[in-house]
Amino acid sequence: DTATTEIYTLSLHDASDLDPIYESYMGLGPRRMQHWEHWSDPDAETYLTGIDYYEHPRECRLRLRELYPQLGLGIPASDNPIPRPRLGLDEGQCSSDPDHHSVRWGDTETGTYQHGEAFFPSAEEVFAFSPLAKGDFRDWGHVVNAWDFSSEEGLYNMLRPAYPVEWGDKAPEGSAASCGFYNTFFMWPLLTFGWELFLECSLDERFEPVLEEFAEINRRVFRTFARLPVNFVVCHDDIVITRGPVCSPAWMKKHVFPRYEEFWSILKAAGKEVLFMSDGRMDAYADDVMACGARGIISEPYTDYKTIARKHENCFIAGEGDNRVLKRNDPAEIRDMVESMVATGRMSGGYMMCIGNHIPYNVPPEAVKRYLDLSGELAHR
Q: What tens-digit pLDDT sequence spans the chain (381 residues)?
A: 334 334 333 343 333 467 999 999 999 999 999 999 999 999 999 999 999 999 999 999 999 999 999 999 999 999 999 999 886 655 444 545 555 677 788 998 887 766 666 789 899 999 999 999 999 999 998 899 999 999 999 999 999 999 999 999 999 999 999 999 999 999 999 999 999 999 999 999 999 999 999 999 999 999 999 999 999 999 999 999 999 999 999 999 999 999 999 999 999 999 999 999 999 999 999 999 999 999 999 999 999 999 999 999 999 999 999 999 999 999 999 999 999 999 999 999 999 999 999 999 999 999 999 999 999 999 999
CA 284 to the chain's CA centroid: 19
Instruction: Please answer whether residues 321 and 337 qualify as being in contact, where contact means their C-beta atoms are separated by less than 8 angstroms.
Output: yes
Whole-number pLDDT of residue 92: 46
What DSSP string runs through 20-32? HHHHHHTT---SB
| Beta strands, E only, 200-347 | 232-236, 240-241, 244-245, 273-277, 294-298, 316-318
Whole-number pLDDT of residue 279: 97
Instruction: Please answer whether residues 275 and 234 qualify as being in contact, where contact means their C-beta atoms are separated by less than 8 angstroms.
Output: yes
Whole-number pLDDT of residue 99: 59
Whole-number pLDDT of residue 336: 98
20 Cβ partners below 8 Å, 6+ apart? 30, 32, 34
Whole-number pLDDT of residue 12: 39
Whole-number pLDDT of residue 159: 98
| Alpha-carbon span 62 to 74, nearest angstrom | 9
What DSSP string runs through 305-351? HHHHHHHSTT-EEE--B-HHHHHHT-HHHHHHHHHHHHHHHTT-TEE
